[in-house]
Structures are given as C-alpha cells and as structure tokens.
Amino acid sequence: MVERGSDLLDGRVVVITGGGAGIGRATAELFARNGATLVVADVDEEANQATAAAVADLGAQSLAVTVDVSREVDIERMIVATEAEFGRVDVLFNNAGIMLADDADAVSAEDDAIDKTFDVNIKGVLYGCKYGIPALRRAGGGSIINTASFVASVGAATPQIAYTASKGAVLSMTRELAVIHARENIRVNALSPGPLRTELLMSYLDTDEKKQRRLVHVPMGRFGEAAEMAQSALFLASDMSSYMTGANLQVDGGLTAAYVTPE
C-alpha cells in the first residue's frame, strides 16, 4: 500500500464526494499524504468533519462541505465554496453512492428506492460534472473520476436492479464526458470497484452466508479495501494517467475477468 507521500498531487485542489466514509475517506487521507488540498463533501456532517480533521492532522489544508449530491443547489455550493476558499478545482472525485436495502429485482423494486438510487448515483455524478467542469476549465484542465462498480459490466449475483442500472449510467456518462471534454485538457475516467469491506456492502451482505456467496465470484477470494480504491484513484487523479480518458479502471480482485473461479 502507498502510505507516505510523493508529490503527485502537490498544489492540486481535490473535491471528493462521499468523503465521510469508505472509499472517500481513504482517498482523502491518501491524497493528503501526496500533497493535495482537500474539499470533502458528504451528507453525513459529523463523518465529513471527521475526515476533514483527519486530513488536517496529516498536514493538508481541508474544507468540509455538507451536501446531498442529489440536490443541484448543494453541488453548486460545493464548487463555489471550493473556489472561494482555495481558488481552483483540479480534481473532482464523484464518489458518493448508495445501495438501498429495499432495492430488489425489476418485479419487486419500489419506485421510491429506484428514484432515490437514481437521484444520488446518477444525478449526483451529473450535477458534479455540471458545476465541476466549468471550474476545471477555469483551472486550465484537470481530472474527473466517477465511481461506478463491477455491476456496470457484469450481472450482479444479488437483485439490485436500480443500483446496477445507476452504475451503468455512470459508466456511459463517463465515456461521453471524456470524449466531449478531451480537448479542454479535462480527463474523465471511471473507477469500478469490486466488492469491498466497507459499510455500504457489509450492511447489505449482513450474514456470513451472503458474504461467502459474493466471494465465490472473486478470484482473489477476499473483499477489497477502501485503501486499495484510494490507490487507484490516486493514479487517475495524477499525471501518472495523463494519456488516459474515458477508461473504466476495474479494481475488483479479478471478478470481471473470471469465468470459473479457481478453488
């Protein structure tokens, strides 16, 4: 694991949604160790403040903004606050997402769960780009990372039709955004995690049996860690990935490559 820093993100101002937990928090901490200034945005004010404090302890400048990414006004405020405080936006990590317990198969999923999932997972990313792209332009370019999921590429083994559809949308939006904004020095890539040992999935796979069932599909035979997603996000955020746009970086223990899982 990359623990201590390089100067990969020196002087870069990074906005991370869903910064209060899981991938967002791990990424904020890793980016802080690699020179970034952090703006963390989350609907959970307390968790978000805790991340901002952790980042400050690592010596990075930070700002916490409470947002619900499904609300356009909140996203606009997030970008305005970032430019007001730090003068620019260089990297936008559209990472906040939800997977609801009452998401289900197409026959039984309720409209309310479908709407909420689409609002956060699809509109959240779209609003991030709506306000983030003009800010990246003002900064002379930059990198956008959208968190999708392995379920955007392969059928999920558990019924979660709204979530799966929403992540497919994230992937297709990412490709179009990448093409449209390529000549503006704005790169847009997706990060597709496999199943992770974060709150989002562990509260969903809430029995050992469900966990084991999911692991059958992962050649590495274990859940991924948020810190492992942070490392991939660091690559996509920095100039290490300078010729990469419109890509889907699958960080999934081999899940999407597998046909039969080795014993």
Residue among 34, 37, 70, 250 that touches ligand NAD (CB under 6 A): 70
Sign of the C-alpha dihedral computed for residues 186, 236, 218 and 202 taken in this order: negative
- Tell me the residue type at 157: A
Q: Is 162 in the site for ligand NAD (CB under 6 A)?
A: no
Q: How far is the CB of 181 from ligand NAD (least distance, A)?
A: 21
Q: Which residues are catalytic?
A: 163
Cα dihedral value 169, 170, 171, 173, nearest 10:
80
Q: Is 24 in the site for ligand NAD (CB under 6 A)?
A: yes
Give the CA distances from residue 252 to residues 101, 115, 201, 217, 237, in Å, rounded to whole numbers and listed in that order: 22, 27, 14, 10, 19
Residue among 32, 39, 173, 201 that touches ligand NAD (CB under 6 A): 201
Cα 220 from Cα 212, distance rounded (Å): 13
**List of E strands, 73-222:** 91-94, 142-147, 186-193
Q: Is 78 in the site for ligand NAD (CB under 6 A)?
A: no
Which one, 21 or 161, has the nearer CB to ligand NAD?
Answer: 21
Q: How far is the CB of 192 from ligand NAD (least distance, A)?
A: 7
Size of the site for ligand NAD (CB under 6 A): 31
Cα 200 from Cα 188, distance rounded (Å): 24
Residue among 12, 15, 22, 40 that touches ligand NAD (CB under 6 A): 22
CA angle 221, 224, 227 (to 5 degrees): 150
Q: Is 196 in the site for ligand NAD (CB under 6 A)?
A: yes
Which one, 42 or 90, has the nearer CB to ligand NAD?
Answer: 42
Residues binding ligand NAD (CB under 6 A): 17-18, 20-24, 42-44, 47, 67-70, 95-99, 120, 147, 149, 193, 195-196, 198-201, 226
